[in-house]
Amino acid sequence: MTQLLSETARTQGIDYFLLSFTDLFGIQRAKLVPTSAIDAMADGQAGFAGFAAWLDLTPADPDVFAQPDRERLYQLPWQPELGWMPADLIQANGDPLEQTPRWVLKRVLAQAEAMGLRAKTGVECEFMLFSPEEWAVSDPRDQQAKPCYDQQSLMRRFSVIRDICDGMQKLGWNPYQNDHEDANGQFEMNWLFDDALVTADRHAFFKYMVKSIAEQQGYRATFMPKPFPHLTGNGCHTHISLWDPSGTTNLFTDATGELGLSKLAYHFIAGVLHHAPALCALTNPTVNSYRRLNAPVTLSGATWSPSTISYSGNNRTHTIRIPDGGRFELRLADASANPYLLTAGLIAAGLDGIQQQRDPGPRSDNNTYTAPTANAPILPGSLHEALDNLAQSSVLRTALGDPFVNAYLKLKRQQWQEFSHQITPWERETTLDC
């Protein structure tokens, strides 16, 4: 018999639960539930007005309900009287609200399971620490042109990084390294890969944890893709491999294959490359995302983001990097990506590559920043373009489902229109005297 959450709470000293879901724009929405009421609320009684979040619903629609995943209780390391649980949204009749991101990922994982495949992922989610009330890096001494791995800048923010890393250790995530990244005020923290849904839930919680601990210490953490035009943006490099149903045999591994990858892996890579223009709508989901892609050279000398739809070996200038056997890294996504939609889109594209036996062609080992890959397609230049590509993708529509694709396109196009109506300072400066 499954232990009641109230009993778990008494054992672990939890007084309140955050029942949290992630909406279409990646915003986490929650209700704070006292332990005395958690058993009833956990059975799907925590109601939300869906229109109040970024979902394609109206004020006339009935409530939707958060059903937390009982296997994903994260006791907040920095506030242990609180427990956080990712939830799926269900309708009053018990059916899933299929447009919601966590349901979309579960839908795609079921498709992989039907093919005898189990996806495992890991993410490298970069973020910056700002001063709380200013549009500025929090550390005024962090000014080097090449600040990546800088020991002094890293250690001046040791208390923040330590508390986040300690939190991951308490949660059993097996963190293994932390560093100062290529932009001033930018950091990256790595933990061990796991099943795709586990990683997506941890990714969602990681963003919450980073922001919360930063706030506690007087800073503001941001996952914005490109806060400053002259600095490297915040990426979310994603590593993926496919395994057998038991999760014991890595099906991407082939010691005799090129760079240690199997034919299955190369079919998967081909699918990702084929669908990259549409995939961008999920991996790079904001207007600001396209300041990071196809960007001019930064202060450090490199953007570390791709511009061409191409793949390579251990070469960080392409959309896909193969660092060693048994996995590959998608360098396309940025830190604003919805943890669930990023993973769902990546897997859906790759599965199509397997089903269609797609061929990625020969890899490109050039430095795309100095010698662009000949005849390689260019990534979309705007959110508008990426959304159009998603709208035209019958494969991703089938894999992700009409309820999601329709809702996502509707709301994201509204966001693009809102952006398009803005008059920027640059426009005023360059055209006022025309």
Q: Is the pLDDT of residue 174 over 80?
A: yes
DSSP 8-state class, residue 376: P
pLDDT recorded at residue 375: 87
Provide mean pLDDT across the span 262-271.
98
pLDDT of residue 44: 85
Mean pLDDT of 110-115: 98
pLDDT for the residue 421: 97
pLDDT, tens only, 349-363: 999 999 999 999 999
**CA angle at residue 201 from 195 to 202, to 5 degrees?**
85
Looking at the DSSP bridge assignments, the partners of residue 239 are 122, 329
Max Cα distance, the chain (Å): 75
Domains defined for the chain, CATH in brackets: 5-97 (3.10.20.70), 106-428 (3.30.590.10)
Q: Beta partners for 19?
A: 31, 85
Mean pLDDT of the chain: 97
Categorise residue 260: left if φ over 0, alpha if ψ from -120 to 50, beta otherwise. Answer: left
Beta-carbon contacts of 21 under 8 Å, excluding residues fewer than 6 positions away, are 28, 29, 30, 48, 53, 66, 86, 87, 88, 89, 100, 102
Q: Strand order in 328-330's β-sheet?
A: 194-195, 118-125, 236-243, 328-330, 320-321, 311-312
Residue range 58-109, pLDDT digits in tens: 999 999 999 999 999 999 999 999 999 999 999 999 999 999 999 999 999 9
- Evaluate whether 187 touches 157 at the Cβ level (below 8 Å): yes
Please tell me the total number of residues recorded for the chain in this structure. Answer: 434
Residue 107: which H helix or E strand, with range? Answer: helix 101-114
Residue 241 and residue 253: Cα distance in Å, rounded?
Answer: 9
Number of other residues whose CB lies within 10 A of the CB of residue 10: 12
Over residues 105-132, the mean pLDDT reads 98
Phi-psi region of 185 (alpha: psi -120 to 50; beta: other; left: phi over 0): left
424-433 long-range contacts (CB < 8 A, ≥24 apart) are none
Task: Assess whether pLDDT exceeds 80 at residue 2.
Answer: no
Q: Which tokens hold the place of 109?
A: 């994982």
Condensed to tens digits (0 to 9), the pLDDT of residues 364-403 reads 999 999 998 888 999 999 999 999 999 999 999 999 999 9
Over residues 340-345, the mean pLDDT reads 98
The order of strands in the sheet holding 127-130 is 175-180, 186-191, 127-130, 220-222
Residue 1 pLDDT greater than 60, yes or no: no
Q: What is the pLDDT of residues 305-342, one digit of tens each?
A: 999 999 999 999 999 999 999 999 999 999 999 999 99
Q: Residue 195: beta bridge partners? A: 120
Sequence-ordered list of residues with C-beta below 8 angstroms from that of 367, at least 6 positions apart, any chain = 315, 317
Q: pTM here?
A: 0.97
